[in-house]
Amino acid sequence: MKTAERIGRLPPYVFSDLERLEDEKRREGVDVISLGIGDPDLGPPQFVTDALVEALGRESFHQYSSSQGERFYREAVAEWYGKRFGVRVDPDREVCALIGSKEGLANIARAFVDRGDRVGVPDPGYPVYSQGAALLSDGLPVALRMNDSFLPEYPFPENLAAVYLNYPNNPTAAFAGRDDIDRFVEAAHDGGSILCYDNAYSEQYFGDSRPPSVLQTKHSIEGVVEFHSLSKTFNMTGFRAGFAVGDEKLIAGLKKVKSQIDSGIPKFIQAAGAAALGRYSGAGRPVELEENAAELEARMGCLVDGLRRLGFEAAMPGGTFYLWLPVAGDGSEMVRAMIEVGIVATPGMAFGSAGRRYVRFAVTAPKERIEEALRRMGSSGGVMRFAGGSGQ
């Protein structure tokens, strides 16, 4: 059977080989510790599931929603932007509901990337920008040059139709401040490209320094759109709920694409999402999210301390649930060695060639499991030969 050329352009799926090895270990009866995929083991707050159950019984909630989302959901998003970032947003023209932010990050390119258009993507970066967005829209991903703090170098490469950026960052856990945000917008304006800013981890910070929204820029938000997700913020990955907010022309293009493809987030999920966002009373996180962040920080501290004791160059990140660990050698080989002792992590290469000498850990397991993983690593010669790397 003939497949479309664009499918052929997608790179091989880095995870399939590792998934096979992991499955083999499970079949052998090995107790596998999962620190690979960024999918929280902790559940959503009780008030969110209560809202979901209540909404299931509401009249008409069994029926189609619309791809742009119910008005009550878009209003909840607009109110949240006001409370969290002090940014005024029009729920009708500047907000679009997303079936998870991944869908929106890919679909925006269908509206603004033509065949052969160049799309700036971070390397390392979340693979959807280069693949689901650029390649599946017949565009050409162009790696952005990044500095040692995993922030982009300026100016951006020439002739980009779109630029994707993401802070707090997956996989590196790099953060951007208000000045950085202004520089991102300035560089996109100067280069005449749209800016797709992925803020999926805005609520996963340790300490008091809250990540900004790109819409807080002092510059015009023309050509700028931000993507958000309830997945990580409220441990709602399986609910599939996110939203895009920004320049109304970009939102209109995204809505046009989506209206031809999907029929929106189920209404009862939108009700749960609106309840989640409505829990904020100001810019700070509600108590449930504070508790969640404290747990992630404790787990991360345990992982970082343990890896340092083993001789790795681990640095405590400012948030997210990822540790981007430089290793001595090829990260994919270290991941293989870890699977041998029943630990799953993600090779840095899964995020681009700049990740070759890194391994990404997600603290999606309780502290006791992380401690057990550290014990297994420490007694595995195969793993320990990667200690002491600098990522260069």
Ligand X SMILES: Cc1ncc(COP(=O)(O)O)c(C=O)c1O
Q: Which residues bind ligand X (CB under 6 A)?
A: 38, 100-102, 126, 166, 170, 198, 200, 229, 231, 237, 242
When the beta carbons of 261 and 287 are compared against ligand X, the nearer one is 261
Residue placing its CB nearer to ligand X in the complex, 132 or 391: 132
Q: What is the 3-state secondary structure (H, E, C) of 220-284?
A: CCCCEEEEEEHHHHCCCHHHCCEEEEECHHHHHHHHHHHHCCCCCCCHHHHHHHHHHHHCCCCCC
Judged by beta carbon, residue 171 or residue 331, the one nearer ligand X is 171
Least distance from ligand X to the Cβ atom of residue 196, Å: 11
Q: How far is the CB of 237 from ligand X (least distance, A)?
A: 5
Q: Residue 349 or residue 374: which is nearer to ligand X going by CB?
A: 349
CB of 104 to ligand X, least distance (A): 8
Under a CB-based contact definition with an 8 Å cutoff, are residues 30 and 220 in contact?
A: no
Name residue, tokens 């293989």: 336
Which residues, including other chains, have CB under 8 Å from residue 129's CB and lie 6 or more apart?
A: 105, 119, 121, 122, 141, 164, 166, 196, 198
188: left (phi over 0), alpha (psi -120 to 50) or beta: alpha
- Rounded to whole angstroms, what are the CA distances from 343 to 76, 314, 317, 375? 40, 18, 21, 11
Q: What share of the chain is helix, strand, coil (3-state, %, to 5)?
A: 45, 15, 40
Whose tokens are 């960052």? That residue is 169
CA nearest to 120, candidates 168, 157, 67, 76? 157
Strand pairing class (343-344; 33-34): parallel
In the complex, minimum distance from the CB of residue 296 to ligand X, in angstroms, rounded to a whole number: 15
* d(C-alpha 368, C-alpha 173), whole Å: 23
Strand 358-362 versus strand 346-347 pairing type: antiparallel
| 235/233 Cα distance (integer angstroms) | 6
Residue 211, burial from CB neighbour count under 10 angstroms (0-12, 13-18, 19+): buried
Q: Which is nearer to ligand X, 125 or 342 (CB)?
A: 125
Plot region of 192 (φ>0 → left; ψ -120 to 50 → alpha; else → beta): left
Closer to ligand X by Cβ: residue 105 or 383: 105
Q: In angstroms, give the least distance from the CB of 126 to ligand X.
A: 4
In the complex with ligand X, which residue's Cβ is closer, 38 or 355?
38
The angle formed by the CA atoms of residues 118, 168 and 334, to the nearest 5 degrees, is 85
CB of 341 to ligand X, least distance (A): 26
| Least distance (Å) between residue 319 CB and ligand X | 13
CB 355 within 8 A of CB 331: yes
Question: Using an 8 Å Cβ cutoff, are 200 and 207 in contact?
Answer: no
CB of 43 to ligand X, least distance (A): 15
Residue number with CB closer to ligand X (137 or 170): 170
Of 224 and 374, which CB lies nearer to ligand X in the complex structure? 224
Residue pair 314/307 in contact (Cβ under 8 Å)? The answer is: yes
- Report in angstroms how near the CB of residue 131 gets to ligand X at its nearest: 13
Measured from the CB atom, the residue of 39 and 372 that comes closer to ligand X is 39
Least spacing, CB of residue 5 vs ligand X, in Å: 26
Alpha helices in 281-330 (DSSP H): 287-309
